[in-house]
Amino acid sequence: MDSSKTLDVDALEYTLAVADQFAITLDALSQKDLLTGELARATDQNRSLKRLLEIESDLIGDSPAMQTLRDTIGRVASSDATALVRGKSGVGKELVAAAIHFNSNRRDGPFVCLNCAALTESLLESELFGHERGSFTGATGKKIGKFEQADGGTLFLDEVGEMPRSIQAKFLRVLEGHPFERVGGNVDIKVDVRVVAATNRDLEGAVEESTFRKDLFFRLQILELQVPALREHAADIPALASYFLVRCCQRIGHPQLKLSGEALNRLANHDWPGNVRELRNVIERAVVLSDGPRILEQDIRLISTSEPKAWLAEDPMLSYQAVPIEDLERDHIAKTLNWTNWNKREASRVLGINRSTLDRKLERYGIHPPQSES
C-alpha cells in the first residue's frame, strides 16, 4: 500500500475525529446558550410576576371604587393604545401605570418612568429623546433617551400636563409612530413603546388656554382611567393602614405592631388631602415613634391642610390678617420638626422635601432645635 495514501487516511480519520468532537462541543455550547436564554427568560418572567404581585398587593381594597379601578386596569392592559391616568396628587397614579404594564403583553419589557415637571425644557427633551455628544454645552457623551430605554416596553410620563409646548409636537409625532432624532443627531430612530401618561391638572382647561395641544390631548386620551381620592373609598382605610403597617415593620426590621381601635377611628375620620401617600407616611411615622406593641391614637400625628387651620385659629391676628407665605412655611416646618421630635429624616418625609432642602430652609428661616435643659 502507498504510504502517502495511508497517511491521507490517517489524517482523514484524525480530521473526522476532531470534527466529531467539535460538533459535540458546538452542540453542548448550543444547548448551554439555549438553557442560558431560557433561564434569562424565566428570570425575567419571575421578576415580572413578583413585581405584578407587589403591585396588586398595593392596590388593595374591596370598595366599589377600587373594584372598578382594578377592572379598568385589566381592560386597559389588554390594549396597546396610549392611556391617560388622572387623579389627585398622592392617589397612586404611577402604581396604576405599573399595574397596566405588568398585566400587559409588554410585562417582560422595560417599565421606564419620567416626571415631566422635574426638569427644565432643554433637559426634558434630552431625557425623552436622548442627545449626541457635543449637541450642547455639557454634552460630553451620547445619551440614550427614555423612549429608547423603553423600547419593547412601557414609558410612564408623570405630570404630562407640565410638558412645555415646544416639546409637545415632537412627542406627538412619536406617539403617532414616526421616528425621531436625538438632540443634535441626524439618524432616524424608531421605537416600539407604549406610553402611559398621568396628570392631576385640568388638561381641558390647559387646551383652552393654549398651553397644551388639543391634538396631543386627544391622542393621550384614547384610554382614560380615573384614580379615586382616598376619601372616595374611605372604607378601605383600615385595610390600607394595616397593609402599610406590616410592610413598614418588615422593611425596617421593627417588631410587628397593631393599630388600636382609637387609632383606626382617628385615621377613618381624617379627610386625607394627601391621599394614599399621606396615609402611608402617617403609618411609617407612627411606627418609628411608637413605644409599645400597639399604635395608639396619640401616635397618629396628622399633618395636612386641615390641621394648620386649627393652630392658625389660635392666633386671632393670623385668623383675620393676610400672612406672608414664608411665615406660614416657617411655622409649618417648625411644628413638623417638633411633632417628629426633631427627627429631620421623618420631617423631610412628612413635608415632602429632601433632607438638603430642609436644611436650606432651616438655615434660611433661622430655625434651630430647642436647647436642652442643663
Q: Domain tally for the chain?
A: 3
pLDDT tens-digit series, residues 181-193: 998 888 999 999 9
And the C-alpha cell for 125? 427633551
Question: Does 191 lie in the same domain as 159?
Answer: yes
Distance CA 354, CA 333 (A): 13
pLDDT tens-digit series, residues 243-267: 999 999 988 888 899 999 999 999 9
Packing angle of the helix pair 261-268, 275-289 (nearest 10 deg):
150
Question: Does 246 lie in the same domain as 204?
Answer: no
**pLDDT at residue 115 is higher than 90:** yes
Does residue 305 sit within a domain? Answer: no
Which of 174, 207, 228 delimits the end of a domain?
A: 228
Q: Which domain holds residue 331?
A: 325-365
Question: Does 254 lie in the same domain as 173?
Answer: no
**Poorest-confidence range of 6-10, 161-165, 205-209, 221-225?**
6-10
Question: Does 251 lie in the same domain as 224?
Answer: no
Does residue 47 sit within a domain? Answer: no
DSSP 187: S
CATH number, domain containing residue 197: 3.40.50.300
49, 52, 54, 60: CA torsion to nearest 10: -140
Question: Does 235 lie in the same domain as 217?
Answer: no
**pLDDT at residue 2 is higher than 50:** no
SS3 143: strand
pLDDT tens-digit series, residues 78-112: 999 999 999 999 999 999 999 999 999 999 999 99
Beta carbons of 285 and 350 less than 8 angstroms apart: yes
Question: Does 348 lie in the same domain as 242?
Answer: no
**The predicted structure's pLDDT at residue 312:** 38
Which of 203, 228, 253 delimits the end of a domain?
A: 228
Does residue 237 sit within a domain? Answer: yes
Question: Does 268 lie in the same domain as 125?
Answer: no
CATH number, domain containing residue 350: 1.10.10.60
SS3 252: helix
Beta carbons of 190 and 179 less than 8 angstroms apart: yes
Question: Does 219 lie in the same domain as 141?
Answer: yes
Question: Does 191 lie in the same domain as 100?
Answer: yes
> Exposure of 51 by Cβ count < 10 A (0-12 exposed, 13-18 middle, 19+ buried)?
middle
Distance CA 253, CA 300 (A): 20
Instruction: Band the pLDDT of 4: cuts 50, 70, 90.
Output: very low
Does residue 338 sit within a domain? Answer: yes
Question: Does 242 lie in the same domain as 181?
Answer: no
Question: Does 220 lie in the same domain as 75?
Answer: yes
Average confidence score pLDDT of the chain? 82
Which of 200, 228, 256 delimits the end of a domain?
A: 228
Instruction: Give the mean model confidence (pLDDT) for residues 49-62.
Output: 66
**The predicted structure's pLDDT at residue 318:** 39
| Widest pairwise Cα distance in the chain | 122
Instruction: Give the mean model confidence (pLDDT) for residues 319-327.
Output: 56
154-158, strands of its sheet edge to edge = 111-115, 154-158, 194-199, 83-86, 223-226
**The predicted structure's pLDDT at residue 263:** 94
Does residue 41 sit within a domain? Answer: no
Question: Does 124 lie in the same domain as 211?
Answer: yes
Does residue 209 sit within a domain? Answer: yes
Return the exposure string of 220-250: e unless at least 16 CB atoms fall within 10 Å of the residue's CB, then b: beebebbbbbbebbbebbeebbebbbebbbe
pLDDT tens-digit series, residues 254-302: 889 999 999 999 999 999 999 999 999 999 989 888 888 999 999 998 8
